[in-house]
Amino acid sequence: MTNELKGKVNYSTSGNIAILEVDNPPVNPLSSGVRAGLSEYITKANEDDSIEGIILTGAGRSFIAGADISEFGQTPDGPDLHTALKEIEYSKKPVLAAINGTALGGGLETALVCNYRMGTNKAIVGLPEVNLGLLPGAGGTQRLPRLIGPSQALKMMIAGTPLSAKKALQQGVIDAISENSLMDDAIVFLQEKIGSEVHPKVRDKNEKVLEARGDDNVLAEAKALAAKTRRGQFAPGQIIACVEAAINEDDFDIGMKKESEYFLECLMNPQREAMIHIFFGERAASKISDVPKDTPLLPIGSAGIVGSGTMGGGIAMNFANAGIPVLILDQDEKNLERGMGVIEKNYQMMVDRGRMSQEQKDVVMGLITPTLSYEDLSNVDIAVEAVYENLDLKQEIFKTLDTVTNDHAILASNTSGLDIDAIAASTNRPGKVVGTHFFSPANVMRLLEVVRGKDSSDETMATVMSIGKKMGKAAVVSLNAPGFIGNRMLAGYTHQANMLLLEGALPNQIDSALESFGMSMGPFRMLDLVGLDLGWRARKLADMETPLANKISDALCEQDRFGQKTSKGFYNYSEGSRAPNPAPENEAIYKEISDQNNIERREISDQEIIDRCILALVNEGARILEEGVAQRSGDMDIVYINGYGFPIWRGGPMFYANQLGLSEVINKMSNFSELDKNFWEPAPLLKKLADESGAFGEAPAPEDRSELLSFKMANMGGV
């Protein structure tokens, strides 16, 4: 094949069968060379009289991972995908897709133009384009409904989650599973078909789409699913419109034409760029710039968790879900029993909701063992401490862990803000100490901040990042600095929300404005959920004067309005419900506190609310970047999307700022400087990049930021 093209297809023969093997490591996307290779070799096999059938497969662990995502937004080289797929679909000789691994997006669409599909029992098939702000644009929206029915196809395309081989077989996406050698089984299967006069084409299977014609429920259910699970996203509506065409158009090619039009609209939509930024951003975040790629990983065959509370239980579930046996320790027998009960209940809920089978539950429960004794942790490869935020207690636990565990074991703390170096100092193995800040509920939330202490070794960091990946987490490295990344940014955001409340906006207006921007939950609903009393009690304990921004929430606490836990906070809650109802009785308190502090309440626009809260994130993010606490701006986007409910389709706060233009960010901030000059002082990096018409990217090299690295660790407190 021509060399400038990316990826290739290998051609070989086995008797009367041609074997086309897609070879574009590591996951075989349909890059230019693959498209060209498919066209060339389908033609070659068709022109060779000795060939009677064709097998299409992938080299390595993937069949085909879809279109080459890096090509979107560029002008691609080589033939287009539609041309290559048309040649497969109209091959004179039958084509069988031998699915050796993941067949995603364009990969599954390639398999759908083949006459037959066989997978290994580890194969995975799916159309996850929606996660990239796209729709399956190579015929997937027209062929999958024909194969498995529009209703199932819509669910699969809107959720974007792939199917296992077993489920794919049950639903009819594949025709057979190979339990032994895929290639041997594929050859036997195809030989049996070679004599047939006709070989099925998915495009001709109209029965299931015709059944759905006139049934309004199919599309209505899909719309409801999209509204519930993909609020604010553009692509799901486009997918539904494509399937509507598959159902209602008699001519398959008209459906295909509509799919192309709607695909183009997705491609041009800014959401696509934002979501692809997150796809690559998540992969970039998993790499640590100064830790070599080939750093050996410490083998992790077992884990121990100290603390069986909500966090400890959730973390134990993560290990079990990743197939790693885990001991969960608590020194209080009742707590331990309760903790195990919660874990069991969480898994049961997954079984009840069809997210896990009873057998799978039995397997993961079998991997979790409760214990009351530290001695039982002696052989674990990693121990994660998950007790409440108290440095003395954590240091005590680390001292014990250091004594009881093998020398090679990694010791991790789930602290959300304490100094990892101070914790490491209580052990004789600071190189093996690291922070693993899971977010609550730890078994659900994808974010994992991996906190790098000054002595955390490369092996420790690389190993913990790889466990994070095994757990399916979005793992991001933070230096050991106050608030790490996420909570440090959050502080400015909630400060602005509280100030807006003092200046005249009501909680409901602030929450609604930010939720319509796309945040999954507004700040006051979030504060009610977490509990207003936490900060109030901490301030009382420290005998600290209430800062202006917290005066309203402290006044609510004085009236026992702690949030959801007392059924009243910024909102009122009916018994057993988490739905917030306005609390007009609070308005007198808001007014009184504004008056006491000489703040004139005024009408505030939704735009001002959004700008102040979101740009507070951006400005703090710029400081975090210039200090090197985060490695790159994209890491902060990953943090905010996976841990704080920032809308993925906006690409995260730093990407949002880049889209807005950094000069515009500064302009907007300067409008607020008369409210609080200090707060709205642009971070030096933000100013510098705005002057250079630049954008946020990588953190500056350490030598360029040495002066900024004077953390006041002594002032760190739990956030």
Span interacting with ligand 3HC, options 133-141, 426-434, 488-496, 672-680, rule CB under 6 A? 133-141
Q: Please tell me whether residue 68 binds ligand 3HC under the rule CB under 6 A.
A: yes
Residue of 37, 53, 94, 136 interacting with ligand 3HC (CB under 6 A) = 136
Compare residues 109 and 449 and give the one whose CB is closer to ligand 3HC: 109
User: Taking CB under 6 A as the rule, does residue 62 contact ligand 3HC?
Assistant: yes
Of 53 and 140, nearer to ligand 3HC (C-beta) is 140
Report the greatest alpha carbon distance in the chain: 92
Rule CB under 6 A: say whether 104 interacts with ligand 3HC: yes
Cα–Cα distances (Å) from 384 to 341, 346, 403, 435, in that order, read 20, 20, 15, 9
Two tokens at 548?
């202006």
Strand-strand pairing, 124-126 and 163-164: antiparallel
CB of 258 within 8 A of CB of 242? yes
Q: How far is the CB of 388 from ligand 3HC (least distance, A)?
A: 34
Instruction: Verify binding: residue 137, ligand 3HC, rule CB under 6 A.
Output: yes
129 part of the interface to ligand 3HC, by CB under 6 A: yes
Task: Look at residues 474, 572, 475, 463 and name the one whose alpha carbon lies nearest to residue 525.
Answer: 572
- Residue number, 68 or 620, with CB nearest to ligand 3HC: 68
Minimum distance of ligand 3HC from residue 461's CB (angstroms): 17
Residue 315's φ and ψ, nearest 5 degrees, are -70, -40
Residues 610-644 as b or e (16 or more Cβ within 10 Å = b): bbbbbbbbbbbbbbbbbbbbbbbbbbbbbbbbbbb
Contact window for ligand 3HC (CB under 6 A) among 99-107, 392-400, 428-436, 684-692: 99-107
Using the minimum distance from each CB to ligand 3HC, give the nearer residue, 281 or 569: 281
Give 25 or 717: the residue with its C-beta nearer to ligand 3HC. 25
C-alpha span between 347 and 365 (Å, rounded): 8
* Nearer Cβ to ligand 3HC (62/460): 62
The reply on whether position 138 binds ligand 3HC by CB under 6 A is: yes
Q: How far is the CB of 287 from ligand 3HC (least distance, A)?
A: 7
- Single-letter amino acid, residue 62: S
Asked if residue 278 binds ligand 3HC (CB under 6 A), the reply is no
Give the pairing type, strands 102-104 and 95-99. unpaired
Residue 117, phi then psi, degrees to nearest 5 = -135, 125
Length of the chain, in residues: 719
Contact letters (x/-) for ligand 3HC, 282-301, by CB under 6 A? Answer: -x------------------
Q: In terms of Cα–Cα distance, which of 277, 290, 293, 295 is closest to 628?
A: 290
Q: Among all residues, which ones are annotated catalytic? A: 109, 129
Tell me: does residue 273 bind ligand 3HC (CB under 6 A).
no
Q: Which residues pair with 20 in a beta bridge?
A: 11, 56
DSSP string, 211-253: HHTT-HHHHHHHHHHHHHHSTT-SHHHHHHHHHHHHHH-SSHH
List the one residue from 69, 157, 306, 368 that touches ligand 3HC (CB under 6 A). 69
Computed from CA positions of residues 167, 171, 176, 182, in that sequence, does the dihedral angle turn out positive or negative? negative
CB of 98 vs ligand 3HC, minimal distance in Å? 17
Beta-ladder partners of 447: 474
Residue closest to ligand 3HC when measured from CB atoms: 105
Nearer to ligand 3HC, 128 or 647 (CB): 128
Q: Does 617 bind ligand 3HC (CB under 6 A)?
A: no
- From candidates 42, 65, 340, 617, binder to ligand 3HC by CB under 6 A: 65
Q: In what order do the strands lie in the sheet with 95-99?
A: 8-14, 17-23, 53-58, 95-99, 116-120, 176-178
198: which 2 tokens?
């006709």
Q: State the binding string over 3-42 for ligand 3HC (x if CB under 6 A, else -).
A: -----------------------xx-x-------------
**Residue span binding ligand 3HC (CB under 6 A) among the ranges 65-73, 441-449, 475-483, 560-568:** 65-73
For the segment 145-184, give every residue that binds ligand 3HC (CB under 6 A): none
105 binds ligand 3HC (CB under 6 A): yes
| Cβ at position 64, least distance to ligand 3HC in Å | 8
- Write out the two tokens for 144: 């999958």
First to last CA, the chain: 57
Say whether residue 128 binds ligand 3HC (CB under 6 A).
yes
Identify the residue among 18, 54, 56, 67 touching ligand 3HC (CB under 6 A). Answer: 67
Asked if 150 and 144 touch (Cβ cutoff 8 Å), the reply is: no
Binding segment toward ligand 3HC, per CB under 6 A, in 59-67, 400-408, 623-631, 695-703: 59-67
Counting contacts by CB under 6 A, is residue 537 touching ligand 3HC?
no
- Run of H or E including 555: helix 551-558
Contacts of residue 607, Cβ cutoff 8 Å, sequence gap at least 6:
none
Name the residue among 133, 231, 209 with its Cα closest to residue 515.
231
Quote the CA–CA distance of 99 and 63 in Å, as a whole number. 5
132 touches ligand 3HC (CB under 6 A): yes
Among 109, 273, 449, 528, interactor with ligand 3HC by CB under 6 A: 109
Q: Which is nearer to ligand 3HC, 62 or 550 (CB)?
A: 62
Binding site for ligand 3HC (CB under 6 A): 26-27, 29, 62, 65-70, 102, 104-106, 109, 128-129, 132, 134, 136-138, 140, 280, 283
